[in-house]
Amino acid sequence: MSSIIVVVGIVVYIALYFLYGKRLETNVVKANNDIETPASRLYDGVDYVPAKTPVLFGHHFASVAGAAPIIGPVIAMAWGWLPALAWIWFGNIFVGAVHDYLAIMASVRYDGKSIQFVASDLITKRTGKLFYWLVFLILVLIVGAFGAVLGNMFVGDPSVPSSYLLMLVAGLILGVLIYRVKMNFTLATIIGVVMLIAAIFGGIAMPITAPKSVWFAIMFFYIIIAAAIPVNVLLQPRDYLNSWLLYVGLAIGALAALSSGVQFSAPAFTSFAPIVSGGKPSPFWPVIPLIVACGSLSGFHSLVGSGTTSKQLDKESSGLTIGYGGMLFEGFLSTIVVVAVAGYGLGLLVNAGQDISAANWGQQYLAASGAAGISGAGMFTAAYAEMVASTWLRFLPGAFVKTIAGMWVASFAMTTLDTTNRLARYTLAEIALPLKDKSEGAYNFLTNRWIASAIPAALGIYLAWSGTFSILWPSFGAGNQLIASIALLTGTAWVAKRLKTKATMALIPAYLLWITVTAAILWHMFVVVLPAIQSNAVTNTVVFIIEAVMFILNVVFIIDFVKTRNEPAPEASEA
């Protein structure tokens, strides 16, 4: 069954890339290689540099890949593997990939300026400002949600934190070899990969057991300190090792899923509203995009893609491969996750002594996973290891494979955490700009390097420590999907106003997404978070306020969008 699903997934992705993506490229964007891209036209050897398509694909994919495409689908399995897979594929092909492609191409036609700039130009200046607020609020929720993922994982599998710490040491050594010793890069890579393998085995041999609160404290200081260390000492070499984990993990997973042939023990469909968020029955529509964010579509991609990718695109026809194809690649990763959990999740929970079967999967899956200590990322790592062990890849030691999967998730989640303080400082500086003239002291305080880092780190870690993961995760998803909805509507405005072509292929998913995300935020605020305030007042009030602010920003945006939709585009903004 797993092989069939993976093959069908590959065929669907390839077919729709040519049937739908190419149509989008030809009929909507009208990509034209005779039009010079900013990378060529504005070439400066610094920011604007054309890159070959496979190289830029590598940059783009590594930038957009993270832990969320793994964790979201694991949770979405509560609806059954079919709805989870359906949203990953449908959302990927008709919404997420369209969103990423339009963001890159709008940016390309705007001299490499960001989707935020395009929104300011085509909708209102206020729309551009919304991005800062949304990104800052999401940073808090990211630290909360990913902190909780890591906390659960580190407690559930003590070999992962020790492997990760050893990997940090490997990163430090690799940094010295590359930047100080200036060793041959291939040789340094081989040493780095050997150290990575040693770190995994070392972690298995010397697991570190500590309570969750200790890990949260470590994470808090790690987030703050990571930004103070020069990037070439730790972050760059560590991220290089991460990329090996990503590609090796993806390759092993794809091979295993293709050759496993396991029958799915999890049900195809449980019910329309199983228990997913906050212990409440959660309707598939509109909640699903809050759960499966990055595996299907992600708002952050619009910023990442229009921030750096668009400045390096060598020709317009490459945009589809990188933007549309890159997103499909991420969806494929989520497909592997669904296949692994569908095949082995039930067996793992039963073996852990949980009273769960296909019949009560919808009601019990998340509760049983939590009780068994294999929720979220832990479920993925365990199912992934089982899947690999069931194939010809079984010569790889089970504990090794499980820890690779754990490190894969942990290292990407950690990377996400340590980027928050860098981003927070910048977004806070922009948000606090009006204070600069009125109260310079307050402005300087808020934008101080340490304060700006500490605010989202402290708030986020507090949420992770005191909050409920099944409430935090959809809140993060809500913010992410809200940016996606704004970016996609900005893309449709660009198509309609600048390209003056029929924007149906973008407009329908854009409106569908906006309505869905708006309904989902309201549902989450009032059905899940508000009642939960009774049991955990401070934490859930913070989450409620953050979601309320996001909702207000969303309403402000749609009012501006509707008011300006028939206005002509301003002149001379575009290249």
Binding-site ranges for other proteins (CB under 8 A): 42, 44-47, 52-59, 61-68, 107, 113-117, 131-132, 135, 142, 146, 178-179, 185, 231-232, 235-237, 239-240, 243, 247, 293-294, 298, 300-301, 303-309, 415-416, 419-420, 422-423, 426-427, 430, 476, 480
Q: Which is nearer to other proteins, 236 or 317 (CB)?
A: 236
At closest approach, how far in Å is the CB of 203 from other proteins?
Answer: 23
The answer to whether the beta carbons of residues 277 and 476 sit under 8 Å apart is no
CA distance 485 to 352: 40
Residue 205 or 433: the one with the smaller Cβ distance to other proteins is: 433
Compute φ and ψ for 404, nearest 5 degrees. -60, -50
In whole angstroms, the minimum distance from the beta carbon of 340 to other proteins comes to 20
266 or 483: CB nearest other proteins: 483
The minimum distance between CB 305 and other proteins, in angstroms, equals: 8
What is the distance between the alpha carbons of residues 415 and 457, in angstroms, rounded to a whole number?
14
Specify the residue, 247 or 285, whose C-beta has the smaller distance to other proteins: 247
Which residues, 6 or more positions from 572, have their beta carbon under 8 angstroms from its beta carbon? none
Nearest distance from C-beta of residue 543 to other proteins, angstroms:
17
SS3 category, 499: helix
> How far is residue 510's CA from residue 123's CA, in Å, rounded to a whole number?
15
> 96, 509 in Cβ contact below 8 A?
no
Query: Least distance (Å) from other proteins to the CB of residue 422?
Result: 5
Beta carbon of residue 486, minimum distance to other proteins (angstroms, whole number): 13
The closest of 297, 319, 317, 298 to 112, measured between CA atoms, is 319
CB-nearer residue toward other proteins: 126 or 422: 422
In angstroms, what is the minimal distance from the CB of 427 to other proteins?
7
State how far the Cα of 91 lies from the Cα of 425, in Å rounded to an integer.
32
Residue positions counted in the chain:
575
What is the C-alpha to C-alpha distance for residues 266 and 49, in angstroms, rounded to an integer?
Answer: 48
Q: Which residues have a Cβ under 8 Å from the Cβ of 227 and sit 6 or more positions away?
A: 418, 421, 422, 449, 453
Q: Which is nearer to other proteins, 80 or 91 (CB)?
A: 91
Q: Report CA 130 to chain centroid distance, whole Å.
A: 20
- Written as six digits, the tokens of 432 are 């606090």
Nearer to other proteins, 113 or 497 (CB): 113
